[in-house]
Structure 1
């Protein structure tokens, strides 16, 4: 979301030319220096403004897949620690890059780290949380994102030079690095890798902290290990998601849902900066509705079926965004934009959990990584759609509104996963698409 302030809408005049010039006079009343003003990204170079965000999201896309696969093979904890360190280092380095391409390239690496953090930390959380608490914590997981979104206007208000802004938001990641190193490995992943003793050690520490009995932990873990034949589970890969019909259908529909959601959300997040009003207040408002979405998601995930919730939110979101195309630019447009973003972010929260529940342990991170990769394809395209606003106010809202409507229909093909036990094997993952019978509860 930092791109909103790294590349905000730019205004300039050309003293010797009414359209474009080699030496424009930029309006610095709001921002002293941005990427657009620093590297003269206007006229025939204006497409580089959108391309900057596209390359960042391509990094997120690659990182989501690479770190997802790496965490399935080498563990959740080492993958997320590497990702956090990479995000911190490259974010700071980017602030000292003096050229457009060098700055953009380093930011792309930062994006890869960000994608890895988003995917792996969510899976790690879900593999620690029991079924009865899964809905609440899957919503709470997104609260920091919303708070970060809301804090961006504060950073941008005090740091109106893009170099200072980039440095400030990167240094803040030191806090993440400190606590992320204290995280234990996922017991479910360790069990899938046949590391029973390490599982017992971690769960014993957790039980001691929570002041719970520890004498039956080893017996329970070993019994679970025997019951679900964990010792015979092979390591999975992205290819395994496409080998059988039901897993293939589920991953195709789920990845399209992620694509549509990301396309609309990140597109509208940038679009609001072009709407009438203060850019700081507009972005804060869009972040605030994301925070509200986290609160709304808790009862929704607790009491509603996953499939129904995704379908309703997507359909309503699509209608709200289409309405923007047919009303004058102003406060009412901002209201519908924020409402659409709230519903869109609700879908994001739900599909993170939905995808986690739908695929087994051996390919769970691969499924999340692939879906997140498709989401980044949507966010890579979105900036170019936002840039269509000068060609017609209706262009961007219509395109952002149509895909959620299509997604609402397609998600009806997915199986319901509410209250099921997290699956371990590929056979369980295939079975959930063949029968409405629940695999079991925990």
Structure 2
């Protein structure tokens, strides 16, 4: 579709997109600086999401003076502290009839991430991107450090819940900030690179655990460095797209002029151009969107339901199959590092794929690859082949996970973009909360978990067919533009 066709179809979003990119460029010095700042938030996200691997690693114990190991009931356990001097299991005796509490604390963390994604998504559409991000950072620091010192299990679990909320908030809000600054032709690359700090954080987590073998010291070591993110009070701007969408024109002009100067762009006509654009928006009575706006109109409703199911399916498979691979015996530090390295490979593979393929094509293709690998896993004997098949499934699901972040951002208009990301992320959390129960089906039959994991990506591949392609399209602003996006018929001219 050429520029003339875009303008004829809907002039308003083209003016905004072209205007902002004309003013600050698609990617310059300021964009690079902003990306580096936001990317830093993904390290603590990885630390806290994967911390359970070292907060509650497998631990052996004997019962009193007997020679019996790992038996129940065990009223006076003596724990093996040769690898970890203290874990939440040894600290609060989470064995036998209390063993379920180990999984429960992680489930509660994921519930916090789910709620945080929704609440912070709605808050950032209503109050701007910067303020909710800063609130999430402060919550993460305070509760992360506090969790290292609380004396009982339930206080620890509650603080992990709040940390989960802050993690959900930083993920959805930080990503939208980056996407609303970066130009169209760089969105696919930056959305892929946005996951690299998560991969690196995951890979570096075994180093923290290796040097801090006490769970309290480990928790403190992954939480205290987040203090550096308090600098965001001064370094992170509000996004001009949101400011324009809510008619805070002067603030948008101020941000655009500052960014333009850093990127060595002319600033003479910024105020006149933005004010002219803002005047055009007044005629359309642009209003703030909310979560319910995603479901009021048929096209947006279809898109958000299909998108959310994609997020659920890839999260369900990624976390579930990763845990399935993680059951392998061996050195826990090396196993975690290797597992993280596989996902890093998927990140770098996705970058060239998003340059040459559409979002829709990638999502459908890798859902199918994931499902096929898991079906193969169900019928072959356990061994090297099963490990390879499961690993390919993990990489395929992670590539989908990476692409749907960008796909969702491009599909929904500015006034509900964060709400869409928040709702989709909520669906992803549900998938990650269900996955551990699927792994437990191994006790019934070895083939059941792989088949159960394969069903959702296969369904998601077919559901994705009904979604529009977004590669190369301009970001929409209003609910009306979002409802018209992807329809075969042209929207009515006003």
> Residue 258 of structure 1 aligns with which residue?
311
Deviations 1:113-145 (A, max 9, x none): 000000000011111111111111111111111
Q: Is the 8 A contact 2:130 2:237 kept in 1?
A: yes
> Residue 291 of structure 2 aligns with which residue?
238
> Residue 426 of structure 2 aligns with which residue?
373
Q: Is the 8 A contact 1:272 1:283 kept in 2?
A: no
Q: Work out the CA distance in 1 between the residues paired with 2:283 and 2:405.
A: 25
> Residue 24 of structure 2 aligns with which residue?
none
Change (3 A) 1:374 1:230: farther
2:256 equivalent among 185, 194, 203: 203
Change (3 A) 1:170 1:321: farther
> Residue 96 of structure 1 aligns with which residue?
149
1:221 Cα deviation after fit? 2.0
Q: Work out the CA distance in 2 between the residues paired with 1:100 and 1:436.
A: 57
Change (3 A) 1:306 1:227: farther
> Residue 124 of structure 1 aligns with which residue?
177
> Residue 270 of structure 2 aligns with which residue?
217
1:331 Cα deviation after fit? 4.2
Q: Work out the CA distance in 2 between the residues paired with 1:180 and 1:4.
A: 32
Does residue 138 (structure 1) correspond to residue 187 (structure 2)? The answer is no
Q: Work out the CA distance in 2 between the residues paired with 1:280 and 1:308.
A: 36
Q: Work out the CA distance in 2 between the residues paired with 1:417 and 1:438.
A: 17
Larger CA deviation: 426-435 vs 7-16: 7-16
Change (3 A) 1:181 1:285: farther
Q: Work out the CA distance in 2 between the residues paired with 1:166 and 1:321.
A: 34
1:329 Cα deviation after fit? 4.2
Structure-to-structure mapping, 1:149-188, within 5 angstroms: 149-179=202-232, 181-188=234-241
RMSD (Å), alpha carbons:
2.2
1:428 Cα deviation after fit? 1.1
> Residue 276 of structure 1 aligns with which residue?
329
Q: Is the 8 A contact 1:4 1:270 kept in 2?
A: no
Structure-to-structure mapping, 1:40-51, within 5 angstroms: 40-51=93-104
Deviations 1:45-99 (A, max 9, x none): 2222221111000000111111111111111001101101111110000111121
Larger CA deviation: 209-218 vs 367-376: 209-218
Q: Is the 8 A contact 1:50 1:384 kept in 2?
A: no
1:26 Cα deviation after fit? 3.0
If the length of structure 1 is used for normalisation, what is the TM-score?
0.93
Q: Work out the CA distance in 2 between the residues paired with 1:328 and 1:264.
A: 20
Q: Work out the CA distance in 1 between the residues paired with 2:339 and 2:362.
A: 21
Q: Work out the CA distance in 1 between the residues paired with 2:81 and 2:448.
A: 29
Q: Is the 8 A contact 2:126 2:290 kept in 1?
A: no
What stretches of structure 1 of length at least 5 have no aligned partner?
A: none
Q: Work out the CA distance in 2 between the residues paired with 1:336 and 1:172.
A: 37
Structure-to-structure mapping, 1:10-25, within 5 angstroms: 10-14=59-63, 15=66, 18-25=71-78
Q: Work out the CA distance in 2 between the residues paired with 1:395 and 1:163.
A: 37
Deviations 1:258-290 (A, max 9, x none): 111111212233333311332222211221122
Q: Work out the CA distance in 2 between the residues paired with 1:45 and 1:230.
A: 62
Larger CA deviation: 101-110 vs 180-189: 180-189
Change (3 A) 1:352 1:429: same
Deviations 1:320-345 (A, max 9, x none): 23333344444443333332222111
Q: Is the 8 A contact 1:60 1:376 kept in 2?
A: yes
Q: Work out the CA distance in 1 between the residues paired with 2:399 and 2:341.
A: 13
Q: Work out the CA distance in 2 between the residues paired with 1:230 and 1:193.
A: 14
1:230 Cα deviation after fit? 7.8
1:436 Cα deviation after fit? 7.4
Q: Work out the CA distance in 2 between the residues paired with 1:196 and 1:209.
A: 20
Number of residue-to-residue matches in the alignment: 439
Deviations 1:200-226 (A, max 9, x none): 111111111111111122233234334
1:56 equivalent among 74, 92, 109: 109
Change (3 A) 1:180 1:134: farther
> Residue 407 of structure 2 aligns with which residue?
354
> Residue 430 of structure 1 aligns with which residue?
483
Larger Rg: 2
